[in-house]
Chains A and B, each alone.
Chain A
Amino acid sequence: MKRSLINDIKRQKYIYLMIFIPLVFYTVFKYIPLWNAQIAFRNFKSVRYGILNSPFVGLDNFKEFVTSYYFWNLIRNTLMYSFGKLLVSLPAAIILALAIYECRRSVLRKLVQTLAYLPHFLSWVIMYGILLSLFAPGDGIINDLLKSLGKKPIDFLTNSTTFPWLVIFSDAWKEMGWSAIIFIAALMGIDVALFEAAMVEGASSWQRVRYITLPAIRPVVVIVLLLKIGTIMDAGFNQIFMLYSPAVYNVADIIDTWVYRQGLLDGRFGLATAAGLFKGVIGMILIFTSNFLSKKYTDNSLF
């Protein structure tokens, strides 16, 4: 056994050689942060003192986070954005995919398809600029319309009623084309013979959609939903961080944005790390759940 181990390693020395540096990368950039995460259990003041010199405080940081008045607010917002986005984006993506698939006008189809994928590649900074052109308080299309209707202009980005809707719908606008790709692929995989048979039997277009097209994308919807379970805690940091402002912290703050402000702006490293770990543990449980369920109900799994 031992000899064969040495032989194996010798035989594949070039493979070990080529994965060596990437594994060093993992050790430095993934495992040292894991080690650093112990500051969640310490009263860590600054990088200069070092981690091990900071006093150990047990679960104090976690207690402070969980019992604070903002805790439930953060959880509520995180879940609100996660589920809100899913509820809007998923039907939007399915409708887009169906429309693209059923459309007989090839120019219109190509145009919509191209425009639908494009926003996925734009950053949230660019998206913020685009949203300003639509929703800016003084200028911008929507307020222009409101004014022409004799109504008062609304600052959608700093109004705590409109802000969540803006977050959810701007995300749907940006990502619906991208999310539709997987549905379009499923539709393209439908056997043409099914449609031919349906036409011979005299099925109408509606019946074809109802009995052939929709059933074809149902398994994909299941996969997407199962994968989504794993990322419920990620409500869209880059987006919300770019769009929010102190006026809407109350409805905008998710765990990630709060961790940033506490940890890196206010210097409460221990508390922020505790919140990050809290999120990390829940995220891990969700990923395992998602993976377990998709292994059970579909053939897909991450690991």
Chain B
Amino acid sequence: MKRTKATESVSVKLTGADRRFNILVNIVMVFLLIILALPLWSTIALSFRPSTFIGTYIQGMALPPWKWSFAAYHSLLGNNGFLIAFTNSLKILFQGVFFALLLTIPLAYGLSVKDLRGRKWIIIFVIIPYIFNVGLVPIYILIAKLKMINHLSAIYLPLAIGTYNMLIMKSFFEGIPNELRESAHIDGCNDLQVLVRIILPLSKAIIMTIGLYYGVAFWNDYFHPMLYLNKDMLRPLPILLRNILLAAGMNEFVEASAFGEAPIEAIKAASVFMSAIPMIVAYPFIQKYFTKGTLLGSVKG
């Protein structure tokens, strides 16, 4: 933060009111920290709670690490259903992001070319369905007719171009100087080569950002898998987690946990934490791209 340094270099002496202000800010910050951290911690602590534990919830949260039990994680990782669901989620994630970028990038680039004939009409064609949302049933009928039910592609293909993401990417491409494209044309590049050799290397940040938007959406999606995938072998992690939390899919885990003797609440919490781990691990890397992307989107969607 630049300003902090600048003001401190100017300020001679903090007045009493300034000091009270700083104290208030810090109190608010600590309050926010507690509000933000407590729910996360309560879930994590619950997942490590041993079955022998007796006491209140708060005491459980204050349990020191050497008393933690890993039984819930043992029974989850030893469970076939969990591993299958995890694999399915990864498949949806990678296939989804791949197809999404494969379709979004060329369209965004094509529409960013200002002198493209019919550009205005194509943009209107693309925006109409974005503005007018017809709801769930007509899309469900389409997926059923295409016989995509019980195919992983039903989860990501219909969502492969998010119009909003495409428009963000388009406005990024519009910011690249047109001279680059023209000089490449003079050097004998066609537009495909321009896109691959010149535009893409300049657009790593936006491609990361949009790819991550898609990735988070696919990884977190439980609704479409619930609609379109009804075989156990196909269900991704969010569906399994949902079943565990709603106690419908609990039986297999109770049996599995007979070895690990983990309490049911701990297994629920452990599966919550395990589903969040990929996001938490990737989070530090994606944070900077995400914040950049939102700002880009808000300046010109």
**What's the dominant secondary structure at chain A's contact region?**
helix
CB within 8 Å of A: which of B276-300? Answer: 276, 279-280, 283, 286-287, 290-291, 294-295, 298-300
Cα separation A13 to B64 with both chains bound (whole Å): 66
Is A303 in contact with B127, judged by CB distance below 8 angstroms? yes
Return chain A residues, CB-CB under 8 Å to B134. 33-34, 36-37, 273, 276-277, 280
Is B18 in contact with A204, judged by CB distance below 8 angstroms? yes
Is A22 in contact with B103, judged by CB distance below 8 angstroms? yes
With A126-B276, A181-B295: A192-B3 Cβ-Cβ less than 8 Å: yes
Most chain B CB atoms below 10 A, which of A23, A133, A182, A195: A133
Q: Which residue of B lies closest to A182 (CB)?
A: B298
Is A118 in contact with B280, judged by CB distance below 8 angstroms? yes
Return chain A residues, CB-CB under 8 Å to B136. 256, 259-260, 263-264, 272, 276
Is B135 in contact with A140, judged by CB distance below 8 angstroms? no
B79 contacts partner chain A, Cβ-Cβ < 8 Å: no
Return chain A residues, CB-CB under 8 Å to B40. 115, 118, 130
A235 contacts partner chain B, Cβ-Cβ < 8 Å: no
Most chain B CB atoms below 10 A, which of A95, A185, A241: A185
Is B290 in contact with A117, judged by CB distance below 8 angstroms? yes
A64 contacts partner chain B, Cβ-Cβ < 8 Å: no
From A65-73, A76-84, A102-110, A246-254, the one touching the partner chain is A102-110
Is B33 in contact with A112, judged by CB distance below 8 angstroms? yes
Q: Which of B4, B22, B107 contacts A23 (CB 8 A)?
A: B107
Return chain A residues, CB-CB under 8 Å to B113. 12, 15
Q: Which residue of A lies closest to B125 (CB)?
A: A26
Q: Which residue of A lies closest to B104 (CB)?
A: A22
CB within 8 Å of A: which of B125-142? Answer: 125-127, 129, 131-142
Is B39 in contact with A134, judged by CB distance below 8 angstroms? yes
Is B33 in contact with A115, judged by CB distance below 8 angstroms? yes
A149 contacts partner chain B, Cβ-Cβ < 8 Å: no
Is B142 in contact with A29, judged by CB distance below 8 angstroms? yes
Q: How many Å from the CB of A246 to the closest CB on chain B?
A: 13
Return chain A residues, CB-CB under 8 Å to B42. 130, 133-134, 141
Q: Which residue of B lies closest to A117 (CB)?
A: B287
Return chain A residues, CB-CB under 8 Å to B103. 21-22, 25
Is A39 in contact with B141, judged by CB distance below 8 angstroms? yes
Return chain B residues, CB-CB under 8 Å to A134. 39, 42
Q: Which of A14, A32, A102 contacts B142 (CB 8 A)?
A: A32
A159 contacts partner chain B, Cβ-Cβ < 8 Å: no
B10 contacts partner chain A, Cβ-Cβ < 8 Å: yes
Q: How many Å from the CB of B226 to the closest CB on chain A?
A: 9
Cα separation A223 to B295 with both chains bound (whole Å): 13
Is A275 in contact with B272, judged by CB distance below 8 angstroms? no
What interface size band does chain A fall in? Answer: 35 or more
With A14-B190, A199-B7: A204-B137 Cβ-Cβ less than 8 Å: no
Cα separation A17 to B192 with both chains bound (whole Å): 9
B98 contacts partner chain A, Cβ-Cβ < 8 Å: no
With A5-B117, A18-B110, A302-B301: A123-B222 Cβ-Cβ less than 8 Å: yes
Is A182 in contact with B138, judged by CB distance below 8 angstroms? no
From B24-32, B68-76, B201-209, B250-258, the one touching the partner chain is B24-32
Return chain A residues, CB-CB under 8 Å to B294. 178, 181-182
Is B158 in contact with A29, judged by CB distance below 8 angstroms? yes
**What's the dominant secondary structure at chain B's contact region?**
helix
Q: How many Å from the CB of A155 to the closest CB on chain B?
A: 14
Return chain B residues, CB-CB under 8 Å to A190. 3
Number of interface residues of B (CB under 8 A): 103
CB within 8 Å of B: which of A166-186? Answer: 173, 177-178, 181-182, 185
Q: Which of A16, A30, A102, A273 contacts B25 (CB 8 A)?
A: A102
CB within 8 Å of A: which of B230-253? Answer: 238, 241-242, 245
Q: Which residue of A lies closest to B21 (CB)?
A: A205
Cα separation A284 to B103 with both chains bound (whole Å): 26
Q: Which of B15, B26, B227 contacts A105 (CB 8 A)?
A: B26
With A114-B287, A118-B280, A204-B17: A12-B191 Cβ-Cβ less than 8 Å: yes
A125 contacts partner chain B, Cβ-Cβ < 8 Å: yes
Cα separation A148 to B25 with both chains bound (whole Å): 32
B35 contacts partner chain A, Cβ-Cβ < 8 Å: yes
Given contacts A103-B26, A124-B220, A192-B2, 17 further A-B contacts (CB under 8 A): A18-B109, A19-B107, A23-B122, A36-B137, A47-B144, A101-B1, A102-B25, A118-B279, A122-B220, A182-B298, A185-B295, A195-B3, A205-B18, A256-B136, A259-B136, A263-B136, A283-B133
Interface residues in chain A, defined as those with a beta carbon under 8 Å from any beta carbon in chain B: 5, 8-9, 12, 14-19, 21-23, 25-26, 28-37, 39, 47, 51, 95-96, 99-105, 108-109, 111-112, 114-119, 121-126, 128-134, 139-141, 144-145, 148, 173, 177-178, 181-182, 185, 188, 190, 192, 195-196, 199-200, 204-206, 209, 223, 237-238, 241-242, 256, 259-260, 263-264, 269, 272-273, 275-277, 279-281, 283-284, 287-288, 300, 302-303
Q: Which 4 A-B pairs have the closest CB atoms?
A: A276-B135, A129-B272, A123-B220, A30-B129
